[in-house]
Chains A and B, each alone.
Chain A
Amino acid sequence: MNGIDVLLWGVLPYLMVVVLVGGTIWRYRYDKFGWTTRSSELYESRLLRIGSPLFHFGLLVVIVGHVIGLVIPKSWTDAAGLSQEAYHVQALLLGAIAGFCTLVGVGILVYRRRTTGPVFRATTRNDKLMYVVLVAAIVAGLATTLLGAAGGEEHNYRLTVSPWFRSLFVLQPDVAAMSGSGLAFQLHTLIGMVLFTIWPFTRLVHAFTAPVHYLFRPYIVYRSRRPGAARPTRPGWDRTR
Chain B
Amino acid sequence: MRVMAQMGMVMNLDKCIGCHTCSVTCKQAWTNRSGVEYVWFNNVETRPGQGYPRRYQDQEQWKGGWVRNRRGRLTLKAGGRWRKLMTIFANPVLPNIRDYYEPWTYDYEMLTDAPLGDDFPVAQPKSLISGEPMAIEWSANWDDDLGGAPEHAPRDPIVERLRRESEDAVKLDYEQAFMFFLPRICEHCLNPSCVASCPSGAMYKRVEDGIVLVDQDQCRGWRMCVTGCPYKKVYFNHRTGKAEKCTFCYPRVEVGLPTVCSETCVGRLRYIGLFLYDADRVTAAASVADERDLYESQLDLLLDPHDPAVIAQARADGIAEDWLAAARRSPVYKLAKQYRVALPLHPEFRTMPMVWYIPPLSPVVDRLTETGHDGEDAGNLFGAIDALRIPISYLAELFTAGDPEPVRGVLQKLAAMRAYMRDVTLDRPRDESVAGAVGMTGREIVEMYRLLAIAKYEERYVIPTAYEGEAHQLEELACSLDVDGGPGMVGSGPFGEGSGSPMPVSVETFHALRHRQTGDRVTDPEDRGARINLLNWDGKGRPAGLFPPPHESPPDEAPPGPGDITGRSAATPSSSDPGVDR
A45–B199 CB distance below 8 A: no
1/0 per residue, CB under 8 A from B, across A101-119: the answer is 0000000000000000110
A56 with B495, Cβ < 8 A, contacts A221-B204, A224-B206, A240-B74 known: no
B499–A211 CB distance below 8 A: no
Q: A31-B495, A38-B241, A43-B129 are in contact. List 11 more A-B contacts (CB 8 A).
A: A31-B501, A34-B496, A36-B221, A37-B241, A53-B89, A118-B97, A118-B129, A121-B131, A126-B495, A215-B82, A226-B473
Kindly state the separation between the CA atoms of A124 and B4 in the bound complex, as whole angstroms. Answer: 46
Give the chain B neighbours of A240 by CB distance below 8 A. Answer: 73-75, 196, 283
Interface: A169 (CB within 8 A): no
3 closest cross-chain pairs (CB), A and B:
A34-B499, A211-B199, A236-B279
Name the interface residues of A202-220: CB closer than 8 Å to any CB of B: 202-203, 206, 209, 211-215, 217, 219-220
1/0 per residue, CB under 8 A from A, across B283-294: the answer is 100000000000
A42–B219 CB distance below 8 A: no
Kindly state the separation between the CA atoms of A36 and B239 in the bound complex, as whole angstroms. Answer: 11
Give the chain B neighbours of A241 by CB distance below 8 A. Answer: 73, 75, 80
Kindly state the separation between the CA atoms of A159 and B466 in the bound complex, as whole angstroms. Answer: 66
Q: Which residue of A lies closest to B498 (CB)?
A: A33
A153 CB, nearest partner CB in chain B, Å: 39
Interface: A48 (CB within 8 A): yes
A224–B207 CB distance below 8 A: yes
Name the interface residues of B65-92: CB closer than 8 Å to any CB of A: 73-75, 80-82, 84-85, 88-92
A41 with B94, Cβ < 8 A, contacts A33-B242, A34-B495 known: yes
Kindly state the separation between the CA atoms of A237 and B127 in the bound complex, as whole angstroms. Answer: 46
Name the interface residues of A175-217: CB closer than 8 Å to any CB of B: 201-203, 206, 209, 211-215, 217
Name the interface residues of B461-498: CB closer than 8 Å to any CB of A: 466, 470, 473, 492-498
Kindly state the separation between the CA atoms of A123 and B239 in the bound complex, as whole angstroms. Answer: 10
B contacts, CB < 8 Å to A: 2, 4, 73-75, 80-82, 84-85, 88-92, 94-97, 127, 129-132, 191-192, 195-196, 198-201, 203-209, 215-223, 236, 238-242, 254, 279-283, 466, 470, 473, 492-502
B contacts with A: majority SS: loop
Name the interface residues of A5-28: CB closer than 8 Å to any CB of B: 27
Interface: A52 (CB within 8 A): yes
Kindly state the separation between the CA atoms of A43 and B99 in the bound complex, as whole angstroms. Answer: 11
B472 CB, nearest partner CB in chain A, Å: 11
- Partner among B131, B198, B223 whose Cβ is within 8 Å of the Cβ of A41: B223
A39 with B221, Cβ < 8 A, contacts A201-B495, A219-B196 known: yes
Kindly state the separation between the CA atoms of A166 and B195 in the bound complex, as whole angstroms. Answer: 42
- Partner among B206, B221, B238, B502 whose Cβ is within 8 Å of the Cβ of A225: B206
Give the chain A neighbours of B217 by CB distance below 8 A. Answer: 32-33, 35
B254 CB, nearest partner CB in chain A, Å: 8
Give the chain B neighbours of A167 by CB distance below 8 A. Answer: none
A contacts with B: majority SS: loop
Give the chain B neighbours of A41 by CB distance below 8 A. Answer: 90-91, 94, 223
- Partner among B90, B209, B236 whose Cβ is within 8 Å of the Cβ of A52: B90
A225–B207 CB distance below 8 A: yes
Category for how many chain A residues contact B: 35 or more
B221–A38 CB distance below 8 A: yes
B501–A236 CB distance below 8 A: no
A45–B96 CB distance below 8 A: yes
Give the chain B neighbours of A213 by CB distance below 8 A. Answer: 201
A165 CB, nearest partner CB in chain B, Å: 28
A238–B200 CB distance below 8 A: no
B498–A34 CB distance below 8 A: yes
B238–A34 CB distance below 8 A: no
Kindly state the separation between the CA atoms of A206 and B220 in the bound complex, as whole angstroms. Answer: 7
Interface: A68 (CB within 8 A): no
Q: Which residue of B lies closest to A124 (CB)?
A: B496
Name the interface residues of A36-95: CB closer than 8 Å to any CB of B: 36-45, 48-49, 52-53, 55-57
A235 CB, nearest partner CB in chain B, Å: 9
Q: Which residue of B lies closest to A215 (CB)?
A: B81
A34 with B279, Cβ < 8 A, contacts A41-B90, A220-B205 known: no
Kindly state the separation between the CA atoms of A212 and B73 in the bound complex, as whole angstroms. Answer: 23
Kindly state the separation between the CA atoms of A234 and B127 in the bound complex, as whole angstroms. Answer: 48
